[in-house]
Structure 1
Amino acid sequence: MELMDIHVNVLFKHDTDGRITLINEPPHDDAPRFFIGATKGGTVIRYHHLLTDHVVKELERAISIGSGTPVAEIIHILNRVQPIQHVSIGPAFLFPDVRERSTKAIQITESNKELLLPHFPYTFDEWEYKQPCYAIVQNDRAVSVCCSARQSAKAAEASLHTIEEYRGKAYGVEVSNGWAAEVQNQERLALYSTSWDNFSSQSVAKKLQLIQYGTDLHIS
């Protein structure tokens, strides 16, 4: 539960009432209308700040009845107010201590961030926000990158991408280990989340021996 609470505060900005407002990542798009993070110890629930109290009470009532998360009923309630456009469900992971793991990845700093330009121009543009950032470099170009997608003083959430022609070489594992070790050196938690239909991302999580502590549901 503590990890999930840290996770949700990394993912979203909140108002003074604890409602979610924006995604905690440039360009700070609107937060989902509903989020629930389920763990063995319980659930962490967040409602969009524009949902009316009446809708929130309906959702709370649906969630309180029976066991498990009544996804269909939650979607039905939200869909009456405004059509649902996107539903995402997937696991949330914690990196174990990886500071003793070796990695071939290099850290992207002010002095070498131009390596990002050919394949990762958006990461280059937001380089300061994305720190720490690690990459595998081939032919003077970053071809696999792991950086911070969203972060807080307590934790950072990984963003991982490998150029298609360089996949299958375990580069994702290398850059993820480099990124997570640096986050942990900063005495913060290194987090990773994905969706159930992203099989390649789940494969990387397995190779990294990540620890699943919960499951996320986002409804937008």
Structure 2
Amino acid sequence: MEYHAEAMFTHDRSGRLHLVNEPWPGSDPAPRLFLGRTTEGGSVWRFRHDVPDQLVKQLERWCAEEAAVVDFQDRPKHEKDYWYLLQGKKMTMGPCFSIENETRGPSVDVQRITPENVRQLAREGFEWLADEISYAQPCVAVVQEGRAVSVCRSVRIGTKAHEAGLETLEQFRGRGYAAAATAGWAEAVRELGCIPLYSTSSDNLSSQRVAGKMGLSFYGVNFSIY
């Protein structure tokens, strides 16, 4: 969970959050509170740089009381308290997985997408990838008939871990291509000496199905208030 937090957000020297750690220019502000509850019982929490110190002290006491998570739909014990004290405007929550085994699924053509081949492989559905390909690396795709149909790339990059960003063209879903692309991406991240991580939102059922098909290791739940 420490690696997840470090990859997801930029931090200052005191450990306060500043921005969402998108690899391309134009990042949004980080949440006012990030809480990562783990299956082992320890929690990781971070606060944005502009949260007053007196609020941080109270929030830390509540964060320390959070229990281990078993089901990723379990809400934080002090969710209402966090929301009230921070005067929250938006909340996000979702399960976090580590990719410990590269389960490719079906035997398919998996290729790296680079600035050199992006326009050839990303046609007919992934054209937008050309604007981000230099930032979101590694980028791996399942290729059918010479074009990418499922793409997994690094969308949050920390010093020790990368977070996966996965997209599959609608007409190619349900064939195991997302799992194959994610497995290929995980191999590429390991080659860099980093840990491949996969997280999603509580209501993203298709992304959760990919995690289930791959047998990913559930290690906790992230919870953020903006």
- Confirm or deny a common fold (TM above 0.5): yes
1:65, distance to aligned residue in structure 2 (A): 5.5
Q: Show CA shifts across 1:134-166 (max 9, x none).
A: 112334432210000111231111000011121
Aligned-partner Cα distance in 1 for 2:4–2:30: 14
Where do 1:21-170 residues align within 5 Å?
21-25=18-22, 26=24, 27-39=26-38, 40-64=40-64, 69-79=77-87, 84-98=88-102, 104-114=109-119, 115-170=121-176
Aligned-partner Cα distance in 2 for 1:66–1:154: 26
Unpaired runs of 5+ residues, structure 1, are: none
Q: What secondary structure does 1:105 align onto?
A: strand
1:58 alignment partner AA:
Q
- Which residue in the other structure is 1:203 paired with? 209
1:179 alignment partner AA:
W
Matched-pair contact (CA < 8 Å) for 1:97–1:181: no
Aligned-partner Cα distance in 1 for 2:65–2:141: 47
Q: What secondary structure does 2:135 align onto?
A: coil
- Which residue in the other structure is 2:72 paired with? none
1:109 alignment partner AA:
T
Aligned-partner Cα distance in 2 for 1:61–1:154: 28
Q: What secondary structure does 2:80 align onto?
A: helix
What is the aligned-residue identity percentage? 40
How much is the aligned-residue C-alpha RMSD, in angstroms? 2.0
Q: 1:65 to 1:214 in 2, by over 3 A?
A: closer
- Which residue in the other structure is 1:17 paired with? 14
- Which residue in the other structure is 1:213 paired with? 219
What is the TM-score when the length of structure 1 is the normalising length? 0.89
